[in-house]
Amino acid sequence: MSLKVKNLTFGYDERPVLKDVSFAVEENELLSILGPNGVGKSTLFRCILGLLQGYEGEITLHNRDIRKMGIREMAKHVAYIPQSHYTPFNYSVFEMVLMGTTVQVSAFSKPGKRQAGLAEAALERMGIADLKYRGYTQISGGERQLVLIARALVQEARMLILDEPTANLDYGNQIRVLSQIKTLAREGYTIVQSTHNPDQTFLFSDRVLALKDGRVFADGPPGQVYSEKLIKVLYGVDVEVQSLYGDQVRVSIPKGIVQTDYPRKKALLN
Amino acid sequence: MITKVVNKMKHTDKGAYIVMNLGILLLLAVFVSFQLGRYPISAKEVFGIVFSKVLPIEKYWADRPEFVFINIRLPRVLLACLVGCCLSTAGAAYQGVFQNPMAAPDILGASAGAAFGAALAILHHGSSTVITLSAFCFSLLTVAIVFFISKKAKGKAVIGLILAGIMVKSLFSAGTSFIKLVADPNDQLPAITFWLLGSLAGAKLSTVAFAVVPMGIGLIPLLLIRWRLNILTLGDDEAKTMGVNARLIRLIVIISATFVTAASVSVSGMIGWVGLVIPHLARKLVGNNYNSLMPASMLLGAIFLLVVDNFSRNLLTTEIPLGIITALVGAPFFICLMTRKGDVY
């Protein structure tokens, strides 16, 4: 599943949000989008998902313009995973996941045996099979996020779009959710996600797209893109970027708070 | 493995099992209600009259009970079931569409419009048929106005509909109040007031025949697309990314729910609480999945209004308007549901 965004420009009420954004996502790629609040990450996602019309430029899936694709066809190719949220009605985890299979059944019918099997496999896959009959609103935020990923998996789309999947999750859940996402990419899913944590971007993505003022500021492998300058430009914070374990990890250390010229003791790092 | 299978059965078949039991309960309630009334008809007679229509049974009952049964008891019982079923179904459907557990059948002004239409017809000395027709038409008209205003509103479609509903509802309520003010206080005003309290007292077979068509037009699509209503509760964007055309489904649900509400209110007057309380009772019983919730709401609504109507016509020598009893029963009942311990379902 390859996605191409060409010269995408979009604005709400004349106020431009996205300006001339172009990038491509190759099959099996895990792309992370970085950018400050309000830069247009969610707007970009809404365009890609076909939820916003009236943009300039072109978005293609497998070289087909998404404006020419119907709602059902889109859902068969792309699944959206929102931030872990509450629903007004408390569905069981199983029912919530089963809803993802709706695109496979006709308008007047409900998911059948095959779909129930898919839902169970997806719960198993995300390691939350024991939550099957719990209420979706009664489990933790991290668990809800995993449920939403399972729901996207049963949709059987090859491309997943995640809007800040780790927002509001504790540290452990962030790592667990991101690891699952990375595994999915290795299994052949094409994934686009947005995040606010540059360190995690470095750990958990194949490529990073940085947005600044509605434009693409940087696009490339995390090793090329992640720099002190990037953090300064995107977030206006002075940091020192430290590379660890032979550049497997990079961390940003904010200057001014941490005395970065202080001699480091190796023993403390271990 | 075995516990897994049992567990699975317990949950997936729970809804279907409860719905089946509700169906049996409704049949029992209908059978008992046939016997109750100013002119009691014995179980044996009811049995004979009902089954003589389909089976060759020798007549062993008098003409009088048969006349009462066919012309008074039967239409009344049927109408109570239909109206209860419709109001409760419409409530459940609106709650899903508006992603709001507090939604009731009058959320888009169907009842307020019907009240205005009925009051207007009474003011112009309309016959009972004219009153019903006028109530029905104004009910549909009100919802249509609400819908078109909401189309002009910016922002979330659901919020636009709710706000437009509140505004238009208050306009029509003001209109009804004005009609009450100018109505003849000797006959028209009591007639309007009585209509607004809600009653099934005038039920005839022709009333049932009039109501059953729009009710069917509404109930069938609601039953058919009930699974997709689940996805609608997640919001438009999420529904769309899951391959569901949220706008289309919402339109179908609103039109259907409005038809059943308009048909119910125009034959019964204002009967509150059924459309709010019964879907919640159904949610407690079978969960929020519309797959079981919709049929459960239908059956529970029918049972509830049938039982309440039995009290309405048997408790005192004069009839107690249904709306009074449903409010008397509904409000405390809802408080109990709200505060009851246990899971959120």
Q: What is the mean pLDDT of each run of 10 residues along chain A (270 residues)?
A: 90 87 93 92 94 92 92 95 89 95 91 94 94 93 93 95 90 91 94 92 93 94 92 92 89 82 59
CB contact under 8 A, A110 and B100: no
The three-state secondary structure class of A243 is: strand
Q: How far is CA B178 from CA B119, B139, B196, in A?
A: 10, 18, 14
Nearest Cβ partner of B288 from A51, A90, A94? A90
d(CA B294, CA B257): 12
Q: Report if residue B1 sits inside a domain.
A: no
Burial of residue B23 (CB within 10 Å: 0-12, 13-18, 19+) is: middle
CB contact under 8 A, A103 and B238: no
In B97-116, the residues whose Cβ lies within 8 Å of chain A are 99-101
Q: Report if residue B84 sits inside a domain.
A: yes
Cα B86–chain centre separation: 3
CB contact under 8 A, A107 and B228: yes
- Give the distance from residue B82's alpha carbon to the nearest chain A alpha carbon, in angstroms: 23
Q: How far is CA B50 from CA A43, B26, B34, B74, B332, in A?
A: 63, 16, 10, 10, 37
Cα B259–chain centre separation: 11
pLDDT of residue A268: 53
CB contact under 8 A, B227 and A72: no
Question: What ipTM was estimated for this complex?
Answer: 0.89
Tokens of A18: 């996205």
Neighbours of B185 (CB within 10 A): 9
Q: What is the CA radius of gyration of chain B?
A: 21
Q: Report if residue B185 sits inside a domain.
A: yes
State the CATH class of domain A3-225.
alpha beta
Tokens of B331: 């409000």
- Give the distance from residue A234's alpha carbon to the nearest chain B alpha carbon, in angstroms: 28
d(CA A171, CA B70): 71
Q: Which of B5, B69, B25 is nearest to B306 (CA)?
A: B25
pLDDT of residue B2: 45
Residues sharing a CB contact under 8 Å with residue A43, sequence separation 6 or more, in sequence order: A10, A12, A17, A18, A52
Q: Specify the CATH number for the domain of residue B155.
A: 1.10.3470.10
- Under 8 Å between Cβ of A156 and A104: yes
- Under 8 Å between Cβ of A104 and A115: yes
d(CA A251, CA A269): 13
Neighbours of B136 (CB within 10 A): 25
- Give the distance from residue A129's alpha carbon to the nearest chain B alpha carbon, in angstroms: 11
pLDDT of residue A265: 60
pLDDT of residue A48: 95
The verdict on B39 touching A (C-beta cutoff 8 Å) is: no
Residue pointed to by tokens 């686009």: A192
CA dihedral B239, B240, B243, B245 (to 10 degrees): 90
Tokens of A8: 């995408």
pLDDT of residue A13: 79
In total, how many domains does chain B have? Answer: 1
In B224-263, the residues whose Cβ lies within 8 Å of chain A are 224-228, 230-231, 233-234, 237-238, 240-245
Residues sharing a CB contact under 8 Å with residue B274, sequence separation 6 or more, in sequence order: B84, B87, B88, B91, B301, B304, B305, B326, B330
d(CA A152, CA B241): 10
Nearest CA in chain B to A83: B238
pLDDT of residue B337: 76
- Under-70 pLDDT residues of chain B: 1-12, 341-345
d(CA A166, CA B18): 40
pLDDT of residue A1: 63
Neighbours of B10 (CB within 10 A): 11
d(CA A32, CA A194): 5
Chain A hits for B343, Cβ within 8 Å:
135, 138
The verdict on B220 touching A (C-beta cutoff 8 Å) is: no
Q: Report if residue B330 sits inside a domain.
A: yes
- Long-range Cβ contacts of B41-45 (<8 Å, 24+ apart): B41/B65, B41/B68, B41/B69, B41/B73, B45/B69
Q: Report if residue B345 sits inside a domain.
A: no
- Under 8 Å between Cβ of B84 and B274: yes
Q: Report if residue B4 sits inside a domain.
A: no
The verdict on A50 touching B (C-beta cutoff 8 Å) is: yes
- Under 8 Å between Cβ of B34 and B47: no
3-state helix, strand, coil in chain B (%, to 5): 80, 0, 20
Residue B300's domain comprises 11-339
Chain B hits for A109, Cβ within 8 Å:
227
The three-state secondary structure class of A19 is: strand
